[in-house]
């Protein structure tokens, strides 16, 4: 009987250890009230994510970023995605720059091999009750690398997708705080 209690406690300890590794909180019933990982404000329950404004020449990136943000918020935060009229908060932003740069060149042909796509955004997470920003960031950047030449010949859409996903992870991570 005693070994069952010890085994149960070991399972709880292992679960909390695993939770720490994966940034998941342990509740008070299993760990005496301690939490680990990241915290999101319990003051808010919903977020609206309109498509970011776009000051760049790349017309595809705003929709990919909006889609990535919605998926990231739904999968990693306690917040629900709703329309702007019903949301507690809104995440607004502007894509200020999309830049392509050559990283490597073939010695044999002189053609570009690897390229980087760097996207810069400015965003605000706004409390809809007060109209004031909860978080505001300018010049927020992320980049992705793709191989433009043969034999890989990766399309630029691969870079757009990768940079939108990374930006979404970084932006949503910035919604965390010491509440």
DSSP of 5-48: HHHHHHHHHHHHHHHHHTT-PPPHHHHTT---S----TT--EEE
CB within 8 A of 22, min separation 6: which ones?
A: 37
Alpha helices in the chain (DSSP H): 2-21, 28-31, 61-76, 156-173
Dihedral sign (CA 15, 17, 21, 24): positive
Peptide bond into 62 cis (omega under 30): no
Domains of the chain, start order: 1-37 (no CATH), 38-173 (3.40.50.10610)
pLDDT in tens, the chain (179 residues): 444 443 344 333 434 433 333 344 333 333 344 445 558 888 999 999 999 999 999 999 999 999 999 999 999 999 999 999 999 999 999 999 999 999 988 888 888 889 999 999 999 999 999 999 999 999 999 999 988 777 777 888 999 999 999 999 999 999 997 54
| Assessment of whether the complete model's pTM goes beyond 0.85 | no
pLDDT of the residue at 36: 53
pLDDT of the residue at 175: 93
The rounded distance, in Å, linking the Cα atoms of 62 and 141 is: 14
Take residue 77 and report the two structure tokens written for it: 């935060």
Question: Count of residues for the chain?
Answer: 179
Give the Å distances, CA to CA, from 16 to 8, 25, 43: 13, 8, 25
């Amino acid at each position: 009987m005693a070994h069952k209690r010890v085994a149960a406690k070991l399972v709880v300890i292992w679960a909390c250890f695993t939770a720490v590794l994966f940034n998941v909180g342990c509740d008070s019933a299993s760990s005496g009230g301690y939490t680990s990982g990241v915290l999101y404000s319990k003051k808010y329950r919903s977020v609206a994510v309109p498509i970011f404004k776009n000051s760049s020449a790349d017309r595809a990136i705003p929709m990919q970023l909006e889609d990535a943000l919605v998926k990231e918020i739904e999968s990693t935060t306690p917040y629900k995605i709703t329309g702007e009229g019903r949301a507690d908060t809104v995440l607004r932003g502007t894509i200020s720059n999309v830049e392509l740069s050559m990283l490597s060149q073939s010695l044999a042909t002189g053609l570009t091999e690897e390229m980087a796509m760097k996207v810069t955004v400015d965003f605000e997470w706004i409390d809809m009750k007060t109209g004031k920003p909860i978080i505001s960031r300018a010049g927020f950047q992320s980049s992705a690398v793709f191989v433009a030449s043969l034999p890989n010949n990766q399309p630029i859409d691969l870079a757009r997708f990768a940079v939108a996903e990374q930006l979404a992870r970084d932006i949503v991570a910035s919604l965390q705080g010491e509440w």
